[in-house]
Chains A and B, each alone.
Chain A
């Protein structure tokens, strides 16, 4: 009977129900999409670095594990020493530039050595660098920016000719010749990172140890180890950002449910008086209101899942380079947050309803 009362109340006020559920849906979708975007971008970046195919990374000491922010490039000649280390198959020097215009990394690469480490690019269109101003872009970047082979693109205040479109997943989305990158940074024979490929992955630890002995002042990291560090929890600011977004989203849900239940209690004062005259206890009245809020939340949560999936689809269709990971774990978290926010929002109106004087409530116009 309580369920009938709750459902009939919800159906009796369809606009209020729709608005409340919509607010909860927005809350759920917001949490899932922002967290999904943050985690998606971090994980995608990590997967692309792994996609280079190297087993070990050599960077200058003190460099950030975010590859784009290495401060002082290393001499290219170090590559020759690295190739002498036992069990090293190939070494690829890369000069990394940060393209502030698109907030993305550009790899300055030596195609031959990069191919030896990565196994080579898969070309969708065009082919490798033929001139200094040639540019390779990955398929997602090309789709996102409507770029075709032969097109001229302005990058890093420089005109580049797109010579090829390659399959995504090899570190960066944009590649230029190493020499051109050096010219743009006004350095000579330098690299930001050396990608080291072992003859067998099993030799990774041995190679790391050997390089650490050879180059004790440098930052030597196994790619597998780096992957484990490359999580949103280890990125400064990202957790704060996620937390702020969650607080705002839950706050919206809380306030809307609070307002909705508060106004509905005022509107239904006489009905609460009727229930009290029938002998309904305070607990009964609180339970009715909290269950109504929970039902509104449940409807909102389901709608939120739908919104999140649809919005994700729309975003990815328009911005293919973005990655939004909608996970079951965060769907559960978002649901728990929405229900908790709603119950919290309904708590005060429920208590207020339970405390109403039955005589005053019955006289309410």
Chain B
């Protein structure tokens, strides 16, 4: 398998007023295509920063990031946006659905932003797999947390991304819905070979993954 993620001595320093906060202090990591990786660690250990850098949402302060062979150092902000549009799918803890759109349009908008227009076959396959056929005309406020997260997963994978980045996808869900969502992410990984990198606090959630990376104080402490 080819590595889809490679990071070398990845560092990120935030400035909060005059104080420099080192969120990442040299992260070296390789993830291969088709892997399901969980990243665990205490709050403030740099998990989310790591995920945001891998998704091209923010720049590292130093170090190298290669995702699907693309070195972010050589990419402009616009290049990373374009890369994200085609190669990355995000799932967030707070679902982050657009409140004014129906579930159907929340999923379809990703296809439109990608620029290839609406693909009804792909759409149908994804919504059936996630079991949200009957919820497509509902707005997010009319859906349960589990349903919202399933819609969010559908939106993340509708464009068939190379990499699915999930930031605490079960953090806002009860046990039953957490299990459902994890089963679905696992299913995507097993059925379609979808590479998944999932951040979680929850050891049960991490146990679903093939591999668990432990982070502490901006570093990987075990893999």
Contact = CB atoms under 8 A, between A and B. Distances in A.
Interface in A1-51: 1-2, 4-5, 8-9, 11-12
Interface in B75-110: 78, 81-86, 88, 90, 92, 96-101, 105, 108-110
Contacts of A8: 100-101, 105
Interface in A257-281: 270-271, 273-281
B92 A362 contact: yes
B100 A5 contact: yes
Contacts of A277: 55, 57, 84, 90, 92, 96
Q: Is the interface of B mostly helix, strand, loop or mixed?
A: helix
B85 A1 contact: no
A6 to B, nearest CB: 10
Nearest to A358: B57
A131 B57 CA distance: 92
A274 to B, nearest CB: 5
B96 A279 contact: no
Contacts of B55: 277
A357 B99 CA distance: 20
A316 interface: no
A284 interface: yes
B214 interface: no
Residue among A270, A277, A284, A359 with max Cβ neighbours from chain B (10 Å)? A277
A360 to B, nearest CB: 9
What is the size category of the interface that chain B forms with chain A?
20 to 34
B139 to A, nearest CB: 9
A4 B110 contact: no
A278 B114 CA distance: 8
Contacts of B186: none
Nearest to A4: B105
A282 interface: yes
Contact of B113 (A270, A279, A357): A279
Q: Is the interface of A mostly helix, strand, loop or mixed?
A: helix
Contacts of B86: 279
Residue among B78, B81, B83, B155 with max Cβ neighbours from chain A (10 Å)? B81
Contact of A12 (B58, B85, B100, B110): B100
A1 B100 contact: no
B101 A5 contact: yes
A275 B98 CA distance: 9
Contacts of A358: 57-58
A281 B112 contact: no
Contacts of B83: 279
A67 to B, nearest CB: 61
Given A5-B98, A279-B86, A284 B52 contact: no
A278 B100 contact: no
B113 A280 contact: yes
A271 B92 contact: no
Contacts of A284: 113
A117 B107 CA distance: 79
Contacts of B81: 276, 279-282
A224 B61 CA distance: 79
Residue among A5, A12, A274, A275 with max Cβ neighbours from chain B (10 Å)? A274
Interface of B: 52, 55, 57-58, 78, 81-86, 88, 90, 92, 96-101, 105, 108-110, 112-114, 118, 155
19 contacts: A1-B108, A1-B118, A4-B101, A5-B101, A5-B105, A8-B101, A12-B99, A12-B100, A276-B81, A277-B55, A277-B57, A277-B90, A277-B92, A279-B82, A279-B86, A279-B114, A280-B113, A358-B57, A359-B52
Give the 7 A-B CB pairs with smallest separation, nearest first.
A279-B85, A1-B112, A8-B100, A12-B100, A279-B84, A358-B57, A274-B96
